[in-house]
Amino acid sequence: MIENYDAIKLEPEVLEFWKRNGTYPKAKKKNEGGKKFYFLDGPPYTSGKGRKIAAGSIIKYVVTQGSDIIRNRVKLPDEVTESDYDSDYYIHNQVVPAVERIFNVLGYTKEDLLETKDQTKLGGFF
C-alpha cells in the first residue's frame, strides 16, 4: 500500500515510466495472438468533468430514464434532477431483490409485490 497516495502527483510519474520503458508496446507485443483483454489508456476523469479518480475511488451515480443500455444512462448526482432518475430500475433491481425473500416467508411472491392494486389499510393483510 502506498502511504500518502496522491493520484495527481503519481499519474505523470507513472506515464513517464511507461514511456521510458515502452510498457504499452511491450504489453501489446507480449500478448499478440493470445487471449483478448482491454488495456484502458485514457484520462482518469468521470464524465469528462475534470474530476480525478484513482483506484479505490467510490463514484456515485444515478441511473436515468431512457431505453439505452445502463452504462449510457448513468450520470453523476449533480447532473440530474429529481424527475430524471429511473425509478423502475431502482424498484426492480434494488428494492424488490432486497425484500423478495422476506415477503416469500410471509407467503407473498415477487409477482404479488409488483402487482398494481389500490392501496389497502394494514388490517387488510390480516
pLDDT tens digits, residue range 52-98?
666 667 778 889 999 988 888 888 888 888 899 898 888 888 888 88
> Which residues are CB-contacts of 113 (< 8 A; sequence separation ≥ 6)?
96, 99, 100, 103
Checking if the pLDDT of 15 tops 70, the result is yes
pLDDT of residue 124: 62
Return the amino acid letter for 91.
Answer: I
> Which residues are CB-contacts of 36 (< 8 A; sequence separation ≥ 6)?
none
Nearest to 97 by CA among 80, 114, 119: 114
Cβ proximity of 96 and 114 under 8 Å: yes
Cβ proximity of 61 and 75 under 8 Å: yes
Q: How confident is the model at residue 117 (pLDDT cuts 50, 70, 90)?
A: low
Give 60's Cβ-side CA count (13 Å radius): 4
pLDDT of residue 50: 58
pLDDT of residue 120: 65
Checking if the pLDDT of 20 tops 90, the result is yes
| Cα gap 100→113, rounded to integer Å | 8
CA distances from 10 to 15, 42, 74, 105 (A): 9, 15, 28, 52
pLDDT of residue 65: 93
Checking if the pLDDT of 28 tops 60, the result is yes
Tell me the pLDDT tens digit for each residue of 34-50.
777 655 544 444 445 55
